[in-house]
Structure 1
Amino acid sequence: MEHHDTFAFLLPFFMLCFSLMFLAARRVDDGASLFWGLGFLSAALGFVFSLVVGGLHPLLQSLIANGLFYGGFFFYSHALLIHFRASTIVVPRLLTALAFIVVATMLLAAGDLRSHLAVSDLGCAAIGCMALASVVRRPERPADLAIMLAFGATLIETVARVGVLLFQTTAADPLSVDSFLGSNYAFLMQIMASIFGFLLGLAALATVVTDIIERHQGLAERDPLTELLNRRGFERAVLGVSGSGCILVCDIDHFKGVNDRHGHAAGDRILRDVAAQLAAALPARTLIARFGGEEFVAYLPKTDLEVAGRLAKEACRAIADASFVTGEGTTIAITASFGLAPELRGAASIHEAIAHADACLYLAKTGGRNRVVIHGLAGIIDRNEIFQTDLALQHG
């Protein structure tokens, strides 16, 4: 029917549109967009080839069309695996595709078009199922769940199409296959395939856009020199942590002198090395940020003041004991001063805790540097008590 033929070109058209969008997104996305684009391009070419190419030997035409469709599902599944950072299982998927292509081609050579069509679709579904089974427990965001549901629905629709084909045709009457393929029921199945393909494209596009936004948001919330959080990223991350903890402020001692004597390149290297020392000395769950210049701020979640004090002392000693090498190969000694304060939950509390820790940092600087000063739970401790606390931390 004429309207069947007209509609048949819509599916490869929007697949080509999706392909162009994904390939364009490849310029700003280093994830799965390339393979989504290749998948939709391969599937679009498969549909176009089946519709417009004639005059070839049936086996050759089938082999090329099947290769394009299998390529589409192979790239779809590859994109899904990359998106969820799962093993890409390339060899098993390739071997599965080759096995189904060989069987489908042999069936066509034997004149069994019905089984050929069924095996071809089942092979595509098998490749997709291998990928879906590898990532079924990995969704964390709504976009992740959407792509899994859309991908799974596409596979179910593919298998259902095989069931309808086998139910509506008989192996004994080869003409019934041709009759079925030109029927209104087959046209309805084509519409369903177009709908599910369109939903898959939208869901995949949503994951790519989400990944791009999160990647750029991450770059905006990271200090490019040390790769720690910056102030903006730190404040957002802290508000997402439940419970109370402690704020630790660290400032490198005499850092201006390092820049003046050894140059800013050496200063940058010292900043990176101190950031690494802090990350190594503090627990993995600690949120560490560079607030600017030579000042670092760390949030120790669910950590009481006594434990945080010991950790701060260890970080202070680790920096003092480390050897820092400038770009010229010169080894220099670096120390840092620390201010520590407890934090109670709430948007205002975190800024108040940072202010208290900053006040302690100032006292650590004026009190001789290379030390930890703690803000007591009862409020600002007088100067002598602070230094007594500091000495107790330094000398055990």
Structure 2
Amino acid sequence: MPQALFVKKVDGKPGEVYYPLQLNSVPKPKPGPDELLIQLHAAALNHRDFFIRQHLYPGISFTHPLLADGSGTVVEIGNPTTNSPSSSSSSSYLGKRVILYPASGWSSSPSAPEDPSKFTTLGAAALSPIGTAQDYVAVPASQIELAPPHLSPAEAAALPLVGLTAWRALVTKALDGDVSRAVAGRNILVTGIGGGVALCALQFGVALGCNVFVTSSSASKLSRAVTSLGAKGGVSYRDSDWDKQLAAQLPRDRPYLDAVIDGAGGDIIAKTVRLVRHGGVVVVYGMTVSPRMDWLMSAVMRNIELRGTTMGSRDEFRDMVAFVREHRIRPVVSRVVKGLDNIEGIDGLFEDMRDGKQFGKLVIEISSPPDEEGGAKL
């Protein structure tokens, strides 16, 4: 019988509780009209999942499976509805590897979800029954993209949420949706390299021709970003003068930052205000340091814009996946454990996230593709 991974409710206050993982047997889903049944091969963790286990994320469900990121193979197609725009193309997905849009309720608006009250990220979410920590999932055909063929199942599962978040932060927000603006060699700072969003932002920026600089507390992570992923330079944010160190690394013919892509908050404005050009942009997609950050009058006087961003639309997801396919970008996978029933191993992935050990995504291998040796046969 198929299985799915949930968080188990126990008593405790938000921030003090740590919900245990629970594996349950579940009925095999039956795809409804214009839905696809996907046998999942891999699913990936995000910081959101760690926050859920601490009850530090809104709208938690204990009856819907965990995780937003997943890749798998379409094994069954639901009956099409009359005149459905997706019915004619659904059959073409049968037997194909796909990745899931990791949210629902945001179609195409470049500014924000069309109806914020209906938008949700997938996985242990009250507003959606879909989660990728399970053997099979049924989803609308409109919610998937073909997996880029150069990606392994684990790499494909590592892409959706962090890739979408990074794409929106860099392209939609920092470059105003115009990728041609990057050709001139814009200088971009990406903070906290090692996390999935930061790594994707680095990879996208390099592919677009930007000069990308990074921060981290780890010398080895900084080195990998420069030697393996194309960063132009990097500094440790533990150094009190990291802003001065970064200034010394900027090109002489463009000695300023055009944009900052940040997931930490805290004192990021104070540290970068003199580095960001007049009219530049600071894009914040998270605040891991604290839920508040300072905004300085000196930033106002330089006409610097602060832009908040989270996740992205279905249209942005399509564009991001196409970019990954075109440029053969491979999401960085930090570690993979095998099996939904490997609770100890999965808990170990959460510990990596808690301790900041990961460089890239943390992935659960669920099954092998049907065409691979040992893969499931249906």
TM-score for both structures, normalised by structure 1? 0.20
Highest RCO, 1 vs 2 (Cα 8 Å, sep ≥ 6): 2
Question: More strand per residue: 1 or 2?
Answer: 2
Taking structure 2 as the reference length, the TM-score comes to: 0.20
Higher helix share: 1
Q: Whose radius of gyration is greater, 1 or 2? A: 1
